[in-house]
Amino acid sequence: MKKKIDSIASTYSTRYFSSPIPKYKMPEGEMPPDAAYQLIHDELNLDGRVPLNLASFVTTWMEPQANKLIAENINKNFIDHDEYLQSAEIERRCISMLAGLYNSPNAKASPGASTLGSSEAIMLALLAHKFRWKERMKKKGKSASKPNIVMGADVHTVWDKFARYFDVEPRIIPMKKGKYTINAADVAKLVDENTICVGAILCTTFSGQMDEIEKINGFLIKLKKKKGWDIPMHVDAASGGFIAPFLHPSMKWDFRLERVKSINVSGHKFGLVYPGLGWVIFREKADLPDELVFYVNYLGGEMPTFTLNFSKGSSTVIAQYYNLIRLGKSGYKKIMQSIMQNTHYLAKKLHASGRFSLLCTPIFPVVALKLAAGRKYSVFDVSQKLRERGWIVPAYSLPAGAQEEKILRIVIKENFGRDMADLLCADVEAACDLLEGKASKEKPVHKRKGKHHIC
């Protein structure tokens, strides 16, 4: 009788919900799968709500058919090329498509790799440039003991990690108030024959802007002719690489530029794939030194591997291929146009409130805001108030040189529509009202005045 009662009892009525569960020590006994699931499920309700996370560039929604493909392939270890030959072939197709999208001279022959994200992709690209620099110095009979890399303070932290982990001197171009990207004049002050690479950003994490990539390329061409310094450029297109080709096709930032030898892009950002997936693409085979490619045979047939990790799942690579063939160029263009329309709409409304000024006019799906002068509260206060309504909008100081600038940053993704923009604006207005003492603390923050109200 007891067994029958236990089998129909609700999960919440079991002892696992009335007795403490070890959190940092593995329990001695087991528990029913439903109880384990429910305990973890309920605890994760304390996480921020994914659709309201406007801090992250990472994709949070995919089509049901993509979800099905992911579920069907989640148990495949991508490194097992001999066992999963078609998954490896699909990766090769994706690399070729991306190389073509970035105007490689010979897209089908461009080498590359899928990675766990752009951080790994950047590490791999910069390692390739370090090795090629060492080869050049060796041929000249010169020391290869003091490599450096030139980059702006607008880079992602992984660039600093690379410099520290792989013993390369970072030469960082600081930000200034009103100047948050780098240009050719900045680069000219820091490069020398020991520079392994110049880093340039397409859509910065801090402000959504881009470095003057085409002009930096022109400077490096002239420098090579004048001094013989063969300095390549790596373009970090983590956030902009799936936007610029569709919205700004005439913008020259990719392999159309001679000095651009490698590009990284995040499939899990505007490539519209769940985390974690990145891509590194090289202009041509000569840009990827053979020493960085390892061949292993202990999983079956001999296979090349060019990654910092070894094992990883196959599902995100397959999901990327799904998007590429499902959407095509026209589909990606429509999505990016919609995202940018909502970006401009939101930027215009927030600026029209008189409480904020834009750091820049958005050319990518990022709205970076400063508080208007004279406010007695900070962007950190606004961010905290919005958090009370569930919105995750980060507030932060810009890097050294512009650290006096305190900003809010909002990233617009595919699943952030016009109605969501109106709701956010209404909550920003209500939050500012409270901070300015215009509304009673007893009044709810979510007071709204209609769909078309200018916040």
CB 246 within 8 A of CB 332: yes
Q: Output b/e per residue, 405-444; b: 16+ Cβ within 10 A.
A: bebbbbbbbbebeeebbbbbbbbbbbbbbbbeeebeeeee
What pLDDT does residue 277 have? 96
pLDDT band at 9 (very low <50, low <70, confident <90, very high): low
What pLDDT does residue 313 have? 83
pLDDT mean over 347-364:
96
pLDDT band at 8 (very low <50, low <70, confident <90, very high): low
Contacts 24+ apart (CB under 8 A), 348-352: 349/421, 349/425, 349/454, 349/455, 350/425, 350/428, 350/455, 352/454, 352/455
pLDDT in tens, 310-325: 778 899 999 999 999 9
What pLDDT does residue 16 have? 76
Name the amino acid, one letter, at 342. N
Chain mean pLDDT for the chain: 91
Instruction: Return the SS3 of 15.
Output: helix
Using only C-alpha atoms, the chain has a radius of gyration, in whole angstroms, of 25
| Chain centre distance of CA 383 | 21
pLDDT in tens, 230-280: 999 999 999 999 999 999 999 999 999 999 999 999 999 999 999 999 999
What pLDDT does residue 252 have? 98
Whether the predicted pLDDT of 180 surpasses 60: yes
What pLDDT does residue 293 have? 82
Structure tokens given for 318: 């397959």
Task: Name residues whose C-beta falls within 8 Å of residue 204's C-beta, 6 or more positions apart in sequence.
Answer: 154, 155, 180, 181, 210, 211
What pLDDT does residue 285 have? 94
DSSP letters for 337-352: HHHHHHHHHHHHHHHH
Crossing angle for the helix pair 85-101 and 315-352, to the nearest 10 degrees: 40
What pLDDT does residue 298 have? 54
Total residue length of the chain? 455
pLDDT band at 4 (very low <50, low <70, confident <90, very high): very low
Whether the predicted pLDDT of 423 surpasses 70: yes
C-alpha–C-alpha distance, residues 378 and 374, integer Å:
10
CB 350 within 8 A of CB 105: no
pLDDT mean over 200-217:
97
Q: What is the pTM of this model?
A: 0.91
pLDDT in tens, 43-97: 999 999 999 999 999 999 999 999 999 999 999 887 766 677 899 899 999 999 9
pLDDT in tens, 377-406: 999 999 999 999 999 999 999 998 999 999
CB 244 within 8 A of CB 251: yes
pLDDT mean over 293-322:
77
Q: Which domains does the chain have, with CATH numbers?
A: 2-47 (4.10.280.50), 64-324 (3.40.640.10), 335-435 (3.90.1150.160)
pLDDT mean over 177-203:
97
What pLDDT does residue 131 have? 97
Assign 3-state DSSP to the chain and report helix, strand, coil percentages, each to 5. 40, 15, 45
Whether the predicted pLDDT of 121 surpasses 50: yes
Whether the predicted pLDDT of 341 surpasses 50: yes
C-alpha–C-alpha distance, residues 188 and 11, integer Å:
66
pLDDT in tens, 139-171: 999 999 999 999 999 999 999 999 999 999 999
Task: Name residues whose C-beta falls within 8 Å of residue 156's C-beta, 6 or more positions apart in sequence.
Answer: 118, 119, 122, 205, 236, 238
pLDDT mean over 321-342:
98
Strand partners, 159: none
Q: Cβ–Cβ contacts within 10 Å for residue 114, how many?
A: 24
DSSP tally for the chain: helices H, then strands E? 12, 13
